[in-house]
A and B are shown apart, each in its own frame.
Chain A
Amino acid sequence: MTQTIELLPGVTLRCFPDDRFKQGTLSFQIIRPMAAGEVALNALIPTVLLRGTVRHPDLRSITLRLDELYGAAVGATVRRVGDYQTTGLTCGFIEDKYALPGDRVLEPMLDFLRELLLEPVLHEGGFDPGFVESEKKNLISTIESDLNDKRVYAMNKMLRAMCRADSYGIPRLGTVEDVAKIDPVTAWEHYQRILRTSRVDIFYVGTAPAETVARLLMPIFDGIHRDYQPLGPQTPFHDAGGEDLVETMDVAQGKLCLGYVTPITNRDPRFAAMQVANAIFGAGMTSKLFVNVREKLSLCYSIGSGYYGSKGLVTVSAGIDFAREEQTRAEIARQLDAVRSGEITEEELRSAKEALLSSLRSTHDSPGAIEGYYATAALSGLAMTPAQYMDAIRAVTAEQVAAAARELRLHTTYFLKGETA
């Protein structure tokens, strides 16, 4: 069973004892409010930490150390969870029993994590300026590479317009300008402050007892003078009015994005019905959008919808021929109307529920999925375990789905079209 240990005020270790995996997984996440002033800093910091420590002062020596730990991996994890941003490091490493006889991995791994977190290379009261500059360049290029995937680019453009008064309108990694402004001293001071004051969530999946993991983690906190400041709760969508946007670019395929708002968030008793409504409407290969707009009418290659439960947003994204914009918009509206008016077959309801249930059931089959669920669900405001969540989904009726769909209001649209169209 899950074991939760409060290591210090605001610092929680959640252990999922499991002997089915060949690797242990540990993630160390600092929880921050999603705020324009610090989003880029929080995204940058874990990548700077991974560049070098006093004892392992460059990328190569870090990699050599990880090689010794049987090809262990440490990566930066930065997530948006409703109004919060989480930033930190996630480690994957083989279980001790697969190491050479007598060799141990967990203990040196957690000591290396401590080293990465607390002993970065410093220079004149800041992070190493060379590390900061090259990681800023990396982060800028990651942000700019959104342009390479036109679907992501179009969706981000729409969400930013739609959510300009909401934290959801803040780019997950900040803007290029935010990153460019960062200097090594400010970054180091910010990092020390967030280590001291923020909520820290740690997750471990593996065979070691919780007490052992807790003991091995404590040296991290011996080096921090904690002064915990709790966060405010998640908030619903802040509406600044909708827009209809069109952008022109030299592309072969058009991208149409629609944004809907709903008062139903994951704190609402109708949440499961909204989730099922979204699945019937546009999520997956049996949804109305896929079956009708793509398969029956061949209006698009790709189409799908997504529901952001922490905020109460539903988005639709379609890759289409430029000339089919109006037809596609009309067809999407028609499919949503069908859900609203309860034109839902037994088959559609069952398939939608089964898809959601199946993914929840298999949450416990991968260390990454276990970490992902528990690191985001509760934090985003969802107060249910996977088992409770499944019960809620099973209980949803077609009438409840239609009622939830009737709460959707089209808010913002965006169309990316070609220069010749």
Chain B
Amino acid sequence: MKKYEYPELGEVLYKERLANGLTVAVVPRPGFTKKLAYLVTDFGSVHTDFTLEGREVHAPAGIAHFLEHKMFDLPGDRDVSAELAALGAGTNAFTSYDMTAYYISCTENFEAALRLLIEFVSTPYFTEESVAKEIGIIDQEIGMNEDAPDSRVFENLVRCLYREHLIRVPILGTSDTIRQITPALLYDCHRAFYTPGNMILCVVGDVDPDRVARIAEEMLGSGEKSVGVKLRPWVEAMDAAGEDPTERMEVAMPTFQLGFKCEPSGRGVEAIRQEVIGDLAAEALFGESSETYLRLYEEGLIDSSFGGGFETIDGMAMLLCSGDSDDAEAVRSAILESGGKIAREGVSEQDFLRMKRSALGRRIRDLDSFDSTCFRVCAYHLSDFDYFRFPAVYQDVKAEELREFLGRVVRPERCCLSVIEPKEE
């Protein structure tokens, strides 16, 4: 495996693309007992439309998440969770809008656990019965989500903000769409996106990088397979699609999310550059060091639940903030006003340097977390960027870019305000 060194971060990364197309990355952690492995596919809830071997497939909403649940079934009534548990390994998975990740963590028996992880993620096994049963389980999960104000307030926001992009549809799908899922569709998705060429395996821990690569090759073979081609029909105009949504729920106090549509971030270093600019702009606009935050907090319009940042998903990006407030409309006005002011006056060089130093320090501290590091190495790889090169990106961005970004994005026509109000007695 090829070795890359990042002395200013005290990090080393081993990385290689195997003959079968799988990218393998290892972040050594000498002296630690924990080992964490992520196996990630570049396939999330927004990728329901694709071509496979010349044929168009349009799968129902929620299929990526459904597939994630069903990957834990293996032929012969085997129970993967139990087999991993017997090795002392924990396992879980999650589906986001644009990726699905499976992971194991353990302190012993790492190689056996890693083999199991690769085996179950690469072995599709779906039956009519198991699919029917899963519908019941996922329907419960959808029900639970419907009672969760944090999910509702976000789903309402993106549904009103976007016209085309499939972020409009919940990751879990709906009670109706999951009932359209069949074993044949699940096999299609697996064949299209669970091929090594569409995936990355990342391990963080005190392991031998070459052993990891050899195990992956043994388990997956050396031949490259075809990959499904995503159809990304969504072309979004940058104005908000609909009216501000409001819903009433059993909550103690009103809660809100405010989103501004941004241009999609592209790939490679440009993508992370956009993200760094977006994050710093969010800090200047409404972060804890901003005048706006202080004023809103002292006036009682926001409280310690307030926060936000820049979110990117395949094909879209958004500046987002959320919190509890009795007057979310006043929060929006203040943010719009502050955005206008920064767009006119810019950010001082001194403030800009301070924000960069702070953001950089936080990213360095985050490297202590196995999960955060493993996740980021994978997620940035999927947009063609080597995560450990982030310090150079911070050095490169200019204060002027923040001003340009805020002037372009923080505009009334680009935003929606989603509010959940308590039910009236």
Q: Chain A: residues with CB nearer than 8 A to chain B?
A: 20-23, 47, 58-60, 63-64, 66-73, 92-94, 97-98, 130, 134, 137-138, 141-142, 144-145, 147-150, 249-253, 284-286, 291, 294, 298, 300-302, 319-321, 347, 350-351, 354-355, 357-358, 361-362, 364-367
Contacts and interface: CB of A to CB of B under 8 A. Distances in A.
Interface stretch (B80-88, B227-235, B236-244, B374-382): B80-88
A174 to B, nearest CB: 16
Contacts of B9: 22, 98
DSSP majority for the B interface?
mixed
Nearest to A363: B33
Given A63-B287, A67-B358, A365-B32, 18 more contacts: A20-B31, A22-B364, A23-B364, A23-B368, A59-B297, A63-B288, A68-B357, A70-B358, A71-B357, A92-B365, A138-B304, A141-B305, A148-B149, A284-B90, A291-B79, A357-B107, A362-B34, A366-B370
B251 A148 contact: yes
Interface in B31-77: 31-34
B106 A64 contact: no
B365 A71 contact: yes
A243 B29 CA distance: 51
A98 B364 contact: yes
Nearest to B134: A298
B303 A134 contact: yes
Contacts of A361: 33-34, 107-108
Interface of B: 8-10, 29-34, 79, 81-82, 85-92, 105-108, 133, 136-137, 140-141, 143-144, 146-150, 250-253, 255, 287-291, 293-294, 297-298, 300, 303-305, 324, 354-355, 357-362, 364-365, 367-370, 423
Contact of B362 (A71, A142, A347, A351): A71
Contact of B143 (A60, A69, A130, A301): A301
Contacts of A94: 361, 364-365
23 contacts: A64-B354, A67-B354, A68-B357, A70-B360, A98-B9, A98-B364, A144-B252, A147-B251, A147-B252, A253-B140, A285-B91, A286-B85, A301-B143, A347-B86, A354-B85, A354-B87, A355-B90, A358-B88, A358-B106, A358-B108, A361-B107, A362-B105, A365-B32
B250 A68 contact: no
A352 to B, nearest CB: 8
Contacts of B137: 294, 298, 301
Contacts of A69: 361
Contacts of A354: 85-89
Given A298-B136, A351-B85, A355-B85, A150 B147 contact: yes
Given A70-B358, A145-B252, A252-B147, A60 B293 contact: yes
Contact of A134 (B148, B293, B300): B300
B289 A285 contact: no
A96 B251 CA distance: 45
Contact of B293 (A59, A92, A137): A59
A284 B326 CA distance: 39
Contacts of A301: 137, 140-141, 143-144
Contacts of B146: 252-253
Contacts of B255: 148
B297 A134 contact: yes
A253 B85 contact: no
Contacts of B354: 64, 67-68
B199 to A, nearest CB: 23
Which 4 residue pairs across A and B have the least CB separation, nearest first? Answer: A70-B361, A354-B88, A301-B140, A144-B252
Contacts of A300: 140
B370 to A, nearest CB: 7
A141 B136 contact: no
Given A301-B137, A355-B88, A253 B143 contact: yes
Contacts of A141: 252-253, 303, 305, 324
B375 to A, nearest CB: 15
A309 to B, nearest CB: 21
Nearest to A290: B81
Contacts, number: 183
Contacts of A92: 365
Contact of A63 (B87, B253, B289, B369): B289
B89 A358 contact: yes
Contacts of B291: 60
A386 to B, nearest CB: 11
B34 A365 contact: yes
Contacts of B81: 285-286
A331 to B, nearest CB: 15
A158 to B, nearest CB: 18
Nearest to B30: A20
Nearest to A150: B147
A93 B365 CA distance: 7
A350 B8 CA distance: 43
A286 B294 CA distance: 48
Contacts of B140: 253, 300-301, 319-321
Given A251-B147, A301-B140, A284 B85 contact: yes
Contacts of B361: 69-72, 94, 98
B252 A137 contact: no
A22 B253 CA distance: 39
B352 to A, nearest CB: 11
Contacts of A70: 357-358, 360-361, 364
Nearest to A143: B252
B423 A250 contact: yes
Chain B CB within 10 Å, residue with most, of A71, A249, A250: A71
Given A67-B358, A355-B88, A358-B106, A253 B147 contact: yes
Chain B CB within 10 Å, residue with most, of A70, A284, A302: A70
Contacts of B30: 20
A346 to B, nearest CB: 9
A355 B290 CA distance: 44
Nearest to A355: B85
Nearest to A301: B140
B253 A144 contact: yes
B303 A137 contact: yes
A148 B137 CA distance: 22
Given A60-B288, A253-B143, A67 B88 contact: no
Contacts of A251: 147, 250
Given A63-B289, A94-B361, A134-B297, A302 B144 contact: yes
A148 B362 CA distance: 30
B5 to A, nearest CB: 16
A150 B143 CA distance: 12
Given A67-B357, A354-B87, A59 B303 contact: no
Contact of B294 (A59, A319, A355): A59
A71 B298 CA distance: 23
A68 B350 CA distance: 11
Nearest to B288: A63
Given A67-B357, A286-B81, A321-B140, A134 B365 contact: no
Contacts of A147: 250-252
A366 B303 contact: no
Contacts of B293: 59-60
Contacts of A365: 32-34, 370
A20 B364 contact: no
Nearest to A92: B365
Chain A CB within 10 Å, residue with most, of B82, B140, B367: B140
A67 B289 contact: yes
Contact of B355 (A60, A67, A351): A67
